[in-house]
Each structure stands twice: as structure tokens, then as C-alpha cells.
Amino acid sequence: MTPERFARIDQMLKRRQPDLTVCMEKVHKPHNLAAIVRTCDAVGISDIHAVWDEPKMKLSGHTATGSQNWVKVHAHDDVTNAIGALKQQGMQIIATNLSATAVDFRQIDYTKPTAILMGQEKDGITPEALALADQDVIIPMVGMVQSLNVSVATALMLYEAQRQREAAGLYQPADKITKQERDRIMFEGGHPIFAKVCRQKGLPYPEIDDEGQILAPDSWWKKVQMSQSAWQHIDDDE
């Protein structure tokens, strides 16, 4: 990893917002998924949540043009479990929904731990999810259309959250994520070829130093270059 790439990843990680996230309820169109993930990365979100009808559904390798390498998608079986997990993290759940109690989305305090709930393209957020939300919000519109594309609506809300958090100083560089998570992202982003080899061969990620360079014993380097069937004598020698 070059010093320049290390510095860029390091600065990105120090501005991450671990207490800001998006929860997608059955959003399934690839271009919407791609746009949401890309926006999340742009505003410093590293983890998002998704509830899909198909448990194995995931972003394709090219869908988010690389953004999926920096944003982890946590899949949930149902929206109740997803929201429950977010509330356990102390997050307020904000849902876009036209209701008698809905407020302008800009009135929300996004400096608090926040999860923005976005619904499926056609039917929106389900009644079950709305019942679990802490506050409904609307995006004011004065034209003939009644709703925005889900990825556009997500972007508007996330950039309002960024604006508020920037003003509150929450984007000042700081270590906001665990060292383990930081090292994982740094290794995968700075050494993508070795990270792929580790995943393919079932090798644990090595430690990395304060400059992002790999710290690993000779046995790890040998295993990287060999097939799993040839590892036995290496393990026996350790």
C-alpha cells in the first residue's frame, strides 16, 4: 500500500459516522441499491441494513461501482429484527411517511444516533415497520408528483444529516470505530489482492502496522502462495 493510499483511507475512516445508518425494507432495484450505497459512502456511513424477500440477495460486484467495498450491508430476515437491532444501538428510527404526525425531514435532529428507514419502490414502508418508527417525516413537494425515487429521497435526508453533523463538529477526524474494524477495512482497501486470497483460502487477515503495512509470520506468507492441501507440513513445523 502506498503512503498516499494509506493516508486517504485513514482520513476516510476517521470521518466515518458509525451512529448514522440506513435501513432498506425490500428495496430491490439494482440502480436504487447502487445509488443508496454510493451516497452512504459519500456521507461517511460504513454500515447499512437491508431486509429482502430473498435472503441470498446481495449487491453484485459492479452494482455500486466499488462503493460496496467500503460499506457493509447487514441482511435481516424481517424488519422487526432489523429495527430491534438498531434500537438496541440507541438509534432513533426515522421513516418517510405521509401521516398526521409527520414533520418536515429537516426538523429532525440527525446529530443523534439515527437510522433512516426507506421502503420498497412500489409500496413503500410496511405498516409493521411504520409502527416501530419513532418519527414520520415528509419531503415537501409543490409539483404534481407525490413521491420521489427512493434513492433520491435517501440522498436528501443523508445530506441534511451531514449538514447538521458537520455544523456540530461530528466530522472532525477521530477514532470512532473499533481497531479491529479499522484494520479490516484498511487491509481490504489497501491490500485487495491479499484480502481476496485470504477469503478464497480461508486464511485469517494478518495484522497491519500503523502505516498500513502487513505484519505476518513467514508461515502466513507461505500459505498465501500455496494450496490448502499443501499447508499440513507448515502447520506441523509451527
> For 126-152, how does the pLDDT look when each residue is reduced to its tens digit (9 = 90+)?
899 999 999 999 999 888 887 888 999
Cell digits for 22?
A: 440506513
For residues 76 and 82, is the Cβ–Cβ distance under 8 A?
yes
Q: Radius of gyration of the chain from Cα atoms? A: 21
214 appears as a binding residue in the annotation: no
Q: pLDDT digit string (tens) for 46-79?
A: 999 999 776 555 554 444 445 667 898 898 988 9
At position 230, the amino acid (one-letter code) is A
Is position 63 annotated in a ligand binding site? no
Q: Is 215 annotated as a binding residue?
A: no
Specify the DSSP class assigned to residue 218: H
What is the number of helices (H) and of strands (E) in the chain? 9, 9
- Grid coordinates in use for 136? 414520520
At the second CATH level, the architecture of 17-167 is 3-Layer(aba) Sandwich (3.40)
Alpha carbons 22 and 16: distance in angstroms, whole number: 14
Q: What is the pTM of this model?
A: 0.84
Where in the chain are all domains bearing CATH 3.40.1280.10?
17-167
How many residues does this entry show for the chain?
Answer: 238
Residue owning grid cell 424488519: 79
